[in-house]
């Protein structure tokens, strides 16, 4: 795998004995689903077992594919994730508040800016 993407989504569920754990941050009962695909949109890993309140980055860290990346088994691979995940050499996440050095001072770029002339 040269590169891929992953996402977590919540799937509605009925009430379980530990009901509170299944209430996601959006306020409904759910199971958190992790799906990882390659650049050909073929699924490489699917995890469907964590309650809706479980953080996405925890699910990745506990999954087989997360362990393979951490242990170097997938050393050539890369994943694209959202800002809820930690930036790692194999896990690319967006820069939330990009800044650049401009004339000795830091300048924060606005979301609509692609270039800045100093």
**90 in a domain, yes or no?**
yes
**113 in a domain, yes or no?**
no
118 or 18, which is more confident? 18
Q: Which residues pair with 9 in a beta bridge?
A: 33
> What range does the domain containing 54 cover?
4-99
Structure tokens at 108: 């924060």
**Contact between 57 and 66 (Cβ < 8 Å):** no
104 or 111, which is more confident? 104
Handedness of CA 68, 71, 75, 79 (dihedral sign): positive
- The predicted-structure confidence for 23-73, as pLDDT tens digits, reads as follows 888 888 888 889 998 889 899 899 999 998 999 999 999 999 999 999 999
**12 in a domain, yes or no?**
yes
**104 in a domain, yes or no?**
no
**106 in a domain, yes or no?**
no
- The predicted-structure confidence for 80-110, as pLDDT tens digits, reads as follows 888 888 889 999 988 777 777 777 777 776 6
**50 in a domain, yes or no?**
yes
Model confidence, pTM: 0.69
**114 in a domain, yes or no?**
no
> How many structural domains are present in the chain?
1
- Residue 62 pLDDT: 94
**26 in a domain, yes or no?**
yes
């Amino acid at each position: 795998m040269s590169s891929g993407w992953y996402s977590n989504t919540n799937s509605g569920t009925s009430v379980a004995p530990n009901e509170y754990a299944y209430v996601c941050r959006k306020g409904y009962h759910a199971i958190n689903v992790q799906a990882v695909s390659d650049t050909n949109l073929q699924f490489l890993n699917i995890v469907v077992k964590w309650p809706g309140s479980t953080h996405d980055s925890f699910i990745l860290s506990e999954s087989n594919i997360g362990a393979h990346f951490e242990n170097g088994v997938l050393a050539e691979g890369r994943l694209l994730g959202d800002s809820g995940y930690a930036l790692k050499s194999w896990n690319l996440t967006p820069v939330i508040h990009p800044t650049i050095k401009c004339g000795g001072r830091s300048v924060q770029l606005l979301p609509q800016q692609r270039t800045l002339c100093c």
